[in-house]
Amino acid sequence: MHDLPPETPAPELFTWEFATDPYPAYAWLREHAPVRRTTLPSGVEAWLVTRYADAKRALADPRLSKNPVHHAEHAHAKSKTGIPGERGAELMTHLLNIDPPDHTRLRRLVSQAFTPRRVAEFAPRVQELTDGLIDAFAAKGEADLIHDFAFPLPIYAICDLLGVPREDQDDFRDWAGMMIRHGGGPRGGVGRSVKKMRRYLAELIHRKRDDLGDDLISGLIRASDHGEHLTENEAAAMAFILLFAGFETTVNLVGNGVYALLRHPEQRARLQRSLDAGESGLLTTGIEELLRYDGPVELATWRYATEPVRLGGQSVAVGDPVLVVLAAADRDPERFDDPDRLDLSRGDNKHLSYGHGIHYCLGAPLARLEGQAAIGTLLTRLPDLRLAVDPSDLRWRGGLIMRGLRTLPVQFTAVRD
Ligand code: HEM
């Protein structure tokens, strides 16, 4: 069925136009070649999976391993998680690179420390951070919402949660800035930033062993002392993946989310009315819809077939990489009514933006908290927020896995206390 010649030519992937709006190309793939072998810009070949049902199946298929040693091209491979500079073996033993039983052990450990209760208790701090960042630019009447707001918020939030002392958090901001600016490429600066971060985290873990606190790193150490073992390398890799997985994703949730609202004035006005009335229901469903409509993670991280797998009518051979295109699955008309329409009150919205199966996003409760605080507060405090440039002047960051804007210049009526 899927091998019939398509009526329209295959769209070019990974071009500049594609980065600006990949959704028409994904619609073509879903329709004509839902599981397609593709050469990526790096030269590596991988299967792209674009239909919702196939995507969900692939994300939960135990024959698709997360461990890069199963990649047929492993010997020549670069970073396989999309994490820049992440080739040092010490940082490789993290959740997104391993399978059961190691994954089960590490996930259980971190889940004991990263509980929904801990996240809920963190809500006032996230609100304080959000307000502080808006205070810093509110009187200017203009801002770059990526640089001034979406970028620092998750960095400070995760540093606080992990237990990185406040006086060291600006170093993290610098290192993370380096990673996000040059994400995807093996540049020297990125490698150096990752190395500094890694060294810092190792020292911090070491220090905390003798002085446990109420933070997540102390929680990890406590959990490992009371049950299964966690090596210091694994603890450092865990702290690193929490930072990394929770950083650029949240930047993009806020950036893509605000941008989608600015492009849909009637939806944004609806949300603003409901916030003014003190209701939170539309904000809750709205954040989920923004995640579905233009989510932060375009492609799930790499998977490799450990057995031959039939997927969407195609035969995936042992060693072949499989990339699940979350952004395409979440616009599948077989699953979502009128999928290209942004509807903040959409019910039945089981999007795949946080993944599915055993690797389902560990940080989803924190991401929801940050997204709701950031977008809700921004619209409430700066009600006439508007784009300061033409949408065609905006640029999207390169990179295979994530989808996010480089800058989001906005204007608004200056607020002076
Ligand atoms: C809107 C923001 C976020 C989105 C859209 C998102 C999305 C995702 C997705 C799609 C996965 C699964 C990847 C795969 O299966 O290939 C994932 C895993 C993960 N996420 Fe998130 N994430 C977000 C925020 C966060 C935050 C704030 C944290 C923590 C501070 C976090 C920590 C993790 C971790 C540790 C994993 C790996 C889980 C595992 O392998 O068991 N994420 N996330």
Output helix, strand, coil percentages for the chain, rounded to the nearest 5.
55, 10, 40
Residue 222 Cα to ligand 1 midpoint, Å, equals 23
Identify which of 66, 153, 297, 361 to mutate to test ligand 1's pocket (most ligand atoms within 8 A of the CB): 361
**Out of 16-25, 86-95, 232-241, 304-313, least confident range:** 86-95
Ligand 1 nearest atom to the CA of residue 253, by list position? 1
Angle at CA 273, nearest 5°, toward 272 and 276?
Answer: 85
Residue 351 Cα to ligand 1 midpoint, Å, equals 14
Q: Is 314 in the pocket of ligand 1 (CB under 6 A)?
A: no
Q: 201 or 53: whose pLDDT is higher?
A: 53
pLDDT of residue 193: 81
Question: What b/e sequence results for 120-156 when a residue is b if at least 16 CB atoms lie within 10 Å of its CB, and e otherwise?
Answer: eebeeebbebbeebbeebbeeeebbbbbbbbbbbbbb
Q: Is 219 in the pocket of ligand 1 (CB under 6 A)?
A: no
What pTM did the predictor assign?
Answer: 0.93
Q: DSSP for 131-181, please give it.
A: HHHHHHHHTTSEEEHIIIIITHHHHHHHHHHHT--GGGHHHHHHHHHHHHH
Q: Is 353 in the pocket of ligand 1 (CB under 6 A)?
A: yes
Q: Is 367 in the pocket of ligand 1 (CB under 6 A)?
A: yes
Identify which of 114, 155, 160, 249 to mutate to test ligand 1's pocket (most ligand atoms within 8 A of the CB): 249
Q: 114 or 45: whose pLDDT is higher?
A: 45
Ligand 1 nearest atom to the CA of residue 358, by list position? 41
Q: Which residue has the tokens 């996010």?
A: 404
pLDDT of residue 87: 47
Whole-angstrom Cα Rg for the chain: 21
* Ligand 1 atom 18: residue of nearest CA: 361
Q: Class assignment of domain 16-411?
A: mainly alpha
**Out of 150-159, 188-197, 271-280, 367-376, least confident range:** 188-197
Q: Is 404 in the pocket of ligand 1 (CB under 6 A)?
A: no
Residues 22 and 330: beta-carbon distance below 8 Å: no
Q: Is the pLDDT of residue 184 over 60?
A: no
* Ligand 1 atom 21: residue of nearest CA: 361
* Ligand 1 atom 31: residue of nearest CA: 363
Average pLDDT over residues 11-22: 93
Q: Is the pLDDT of residue 345 over 50?
A: yes
**Out of 212-226, 289-303, 315-329, least confident range:** 212-226
Separation CA 59–CA 303 (nearest Å): 9
Separation CA 404–CA 249 (nearest Å): 8
Q: Is the pLDDT of residue 116 over 80?
A: yes
**Out of 10-14, 84-88, 259-263, least confident range:** 84-88
Q: Is the pLDDT of residue 384 over 90?
A: yes
Q: Is 57 in the pocket of ligand 1 (CB under 6 A)?
A: no
Angle at CA 198, nearest 5°, toward 144 and 232?
Answer: 135
* Ligand 1 atom 24: residue of nearest CA: 246
Q: Is the pLDDT of residue 80 over 50?
A: no
Average pLDDT over residues 185-212: 79
Domain boundaries, the chain: 16-411
What would the pLDDT profile of 208-262 be if each residue is shown by its tens digit?
A: 988 999 898 998 888 776 656 677 778 888 888 898 889 999 999 999 999 999 9
